[in-house]
Chains A and B, each alone.
Chain A
């Protein structure tokens, strides 16, 4: 992600904070004009993004953060948000609330008030709240909280223009809750043990410490002496003895009680009569035990039709055969022949391992249409709010592989891009779940680029081969997941997932999101495609390719029964497996592979680690040791499975 240079501003940054799926990223976009990925499900934002907003000549740095249920962090992404609040000096907070769910939004407000950060509330999705007749009266809210609360509809940019002027001179909320005598006494003692200057309100820190927030440990070791930490523990232990261990729960309960009183006092705006709502009805049926599965099947069918038939079929034919093979490559060759008659250059650009004939034609003609249609279709699914309902449908299945339904979100995203999906595993709460899902993504979830190529090849072989490929892959994912759940130590987390309302996707957001992802893909993939092709070209020129093919012969030719040329595909498959698959694709088109060979080679390459970028992200997320372990398992395993399928098929006489 490119770094944004921040101009010197007098005040600190504006930090966007709020519950998951309330539209922080949309508000961020409206304020800064910068696009960050926006979807209709909780947990889309896993990293902070900085941008700049200008208002009457003043520049404000704006920071988008992952959504939180509480500022007492329970997952990695929640910790990111809490930490940024503690680290940004002089920060101002713009809390984005869900107008329909003020009860939960105010839970965060109360904590922000305790942190004593200057605060403005954007009460977002005011349109949905008004439609449902639950829009609270904001004037009274402003009075009680002592901070501005602005109704907004961020996706339509309504009300967002009023936010920046208010953020010029914000003040902290005056709200202070009382948690009862014992708790207050403990808070008082805890406050006394904190260093004289803290970046956020002492009361907030004291409560976090009493609630047993161990994610504060690094901050503590930097700022507080060991003797004071001992004393802090004494204060906390005494409180726990006096009033029970569940301090955090009691604190939340007191907050909710206060909020319920406040909301009762506010009342709601008068509501229009409720109408029939198709989207809400669909939302219910999509996770119904009876209708849910047919709907899931229809969604899959539609997605396949869109990506498989339109993208991989029609668009690929158009681009590859008509545009590249029929027009680009011949015209480049012609121009070269006429003006630069160099056999080397001709080979380099349009030869069998040419930059244009191989790298660009794979990247643009074969992979791009498929990736583009996938991202568009996936965007529609994301923005509609269907994906969390899918998580409800598959929760029990995912329990068997040591995860819960939530893990389906990164897995489905993996069908788009495994690298992106590996980053999204942060929404999972325990390390065990994150490692399992990362492994399964790397092993068995083909990304859209590869998926398109593979489906294109399989559709030529026939439906039986496609089914065999899907069943084998699903089986491998389940078996490996099941075993990984047994082997990898640690705990699985609870399945508690918020289900957003079904919404019509906004065309504007869909377009921007799809374009952003396609751009990301091109940046990520094309350089690797060029590099891979260059390596092949060089290896071919230097005569290494033949030697590698000879060396790999026992593996590729004997074990897998594939032609020696397939070695190339596997070689570049180390860089990007979609590129490898594209190599197989052109071999199959040239009639160099039998049906069985297509199936064997595809299964093998699907099980490869998706690409270099994915491997690097695994290193980043889980460390080199875990990444190396996964790679050492995945590559031999992929070849072994390929060999086993080949042997079995030959023994059973299956030729597809």
Chain B
């Protein structure tokens, strides 16, 4: 559990620093972890944290690790709030667990999927990741709306967020479900897609709800 405890302290140091607080007593007062002194010593021992007088500062290594934790936590918050509309308590609890378990590729997928959000639901900045920089040079994000898929390319449906249950049922009876491969043939005057040997015309509000990944 020390690993997780250390994570929590690093996260706290980052958040307090955003508020302009770096003093040891402020850190100790804000934490809910048991044995915070001990955890701080451990972090100092591993070269993650540097203590100068009353001030507690993140070292370069600590900075990197804290950055990752914060990024995972805040992305998870955005994901849970935007997609599943969870309330604040659930949001916080789940996000706290997510920050420990998400692997780097998953985080990148989530970040790309969410469109590289700059801030969490509480308005705090989300540290940028590699994927956020890459978006400028690379044309295609990892997951996009079918509306934005390039014409003629085969894409795989990742998930569908329909406005109504009925729409979802209708789409699924046509074979449009997550995992299916399809091609977008045209956008105007209506969206036309091809799934297997079936050609289907749909509205934009439907293609907006289908999220796909290039194959």
Q: Do A252 and B169 contact each other (CB < 8 Å), given the known contacts A396-B189, A499-B192?
A: yes
Q: How many Å lie between the Cα of A396 and that of B204 in the bound state?
A: 10
Docked Cα-Cα span, A69 to B186, in Å, equals 24
With A253-B178, A393-B189 in contact, is A496–B198 under 8 Å at CB? no
Among A69, A74, A132, A395, point to the contact of B201 (Cβ < 8 A). Answer: A395
**Which of B9-17, B73-81, B160-168 is near enough to bind chain A?**
B160-168
B172 x A253 contact (CB < 8 A):
yes
- Out of A248, A249, A252, A392, name the residue touching B192 (CB < 8 Å): A392
Say whether A289 faces chain B, with CB atoms less than 8 Å apart.
yes
Q: Return chain B residues, CB-CB under 8 Å to A245.
A: 165
Q: Which residues of A391-415 are within 8 A (CB) of B? A: 391-396, 404-405
B202 located at the interface, meaning its Cβ lies under 8 Å from any Cβ of chain A in the complex: yes
- CA A289 to CA B201, docked complex, whole Å: 13
Q: Does A72 contact B (CB under 8 A)?
A: yes
Which residues from 88 to 103 on chain A have a C-beta closer than 8 Å to any C-beta of chain B?
98, 100-101, 103
Chain B 175-190 against A: per-residue CB contact (8 Å), 1 yes, 0 no?
1011110000111111
B188→A289 contact, CB < 8 A: yes
- In the bound complex, residues from chain B placing their C-beta under 8 Å from that of A132 are 197
**Contacting pair B197 A496 (CB below 8 A):** no
Which residues of chain B (25-51) have a CB below 8 Å from chain A? none
Residues of chain A contacted by B180 (CB below 8 angstroms): 256
Q: How far is the CB of B111 from chain A (nearest CB, A)?
A: 26
B206 touches A496 (CB 8 A): yes
Taking the nearest CB of chain B, how far is it from the CB of A368, in angstroms? 36
Q: How far is the CA of A575 from the CA of B50 in the complex (A)?
A: 96
B202 touches A396 (CB 8 A): no
Asked if A246 lies at the interface with its beta carbon under 8 angstroms from chain B, I say: yes
Q: Are A104 and B203 in contact (CB under 8 A)?
A: no
- Chain A residues 585-613 with CB under 8 Å of chain B are none
Query: Does A249 contact B169, Cβ atoms closer than 8 Å?
Result: yes
The answer to whether B170 has its CB under 8 Å from any CB of chain A is: yes
Whether B53 sits at the interface, judged by CB under 8 Å, is no
As a 0/1 sequence over residues 98 to 125 of chain B, the CB contacts with chain A under 8 angstroms (1 = contact) are: 0000000000000000000000000000
- Answer whether residue B200 sits at the interface, using C-beta atoms and an 8 A cutoff: yes
Whether B196 sits at the interface, judged by CB under 8 Å, is: yes
Is there contact, CB below 8 Å, between A395 and B190?
Answer: yes
What's the tally of chain A residues with a CB closer than 8 Å to chain B?
46
- How many angstroms between the C-alpha atoms of A74 and B177 in the bound complex? 17
- A405 engages B201 (CB within 8 Å): yes
Q: From the candidates B169, B172, B190, name the one contacting A392 in the complex (CB within 8 A).
A: B190
**In contact, B167 and A70 (Cβ under 8 angstroms):** no
B52 at the A interface (CB under 8 A): no
Is the Cβ of A134 less than 8 Å from the Cβ of B197?
yes
A:65-79 near B, CB below 8 Å? 69-70, 72, 74
Contact partner of B186 among A249, A288, A396, CB < 8 A?
Answer: A288
In the complex, are the beta carbons of B189 and A496 less than 8 A apart?
no
For A102, the closest partner residue in chain B by CB is: B196
Instruction: Tell me if B169 and A248 are in contact (CB < 8 A).
Output: yes
Which one of B185, B198, B205 lies within 8 Å of A101 (CB-CB)?
B198
Indicate if the CB atoms of B172 and A252 lie closer than 8 Å: yes
Q: A75 to B167, alpha carbons, bound, how many Å?
A: 12
Closest residue of chain B to A255 (Cβ to Cβ) is B172
Smallest Cβ distance from B94 to chain A, in angstroms? 17
Kindly identify which residue among B167, B178, B192 contacts A494, using a CB–CB cutoff of 8 Å. Answer: B167
| Residues of A with C-beta under 8 A to B171 | 496
Contact with B along A232-248 (1 / 0, CB 8 A): 00000000000001101
CB distance from A439 to the nearest CB of B (A): 23
Which chain A residues lie closer than 8 Å to B170 at the CB level? 69, 74, 494, 496
Q: Confirm or deny: A15 has a beta carbon within 8 angstroms of a beta carbon on chain B.
A: no
Chain B residues with Cβ below 8 Å from A257 are: 179
Mask for A50-76, Cβ within 8 A of B = 1, else 0? 000000000000000000011010100
Do A498 and B198 contact each other (CB < 8 Å), given the known contacts A252-B172, A392-B190, A404-B203? yes
Q: What is the CA–CA distance of A388 and B169 in the complex, to the nearest angstrom?
A: 22
Chain A residues within 8 Å of B187, by CB: 289
Known interface pairs A252-B173, A292-B189; A498-B200 also in contact (CB < 8 Å): yes
A260 neighbours in B (Cβ, 8 Å): 179
What CA separation (Å) do A288 and B206 show in the bound complex? Answer: 20
A252 near B185 (CB under 8 angstroms)?
no
Question: What are 9 A-B pairs at a CB distance below 8 A?
Answer: A70-B169, A74-B166, A100-B198, A103-B196, A292-B189, A391-B201, A396-B190, A496-B202, A497-B201
Known A256-B177, A494-B203, A499-B200; further 16 A-B contacts with Cβ < 8 A: A69-B173, A70-B169, A74-B166, A100-B197, A100-B198, A249-B169, A249-B172, A256-B180, A287-B186, A287-B189, A395-B189, A496-B171, A496-B174, A497-B200, A497-B201, A498-B198
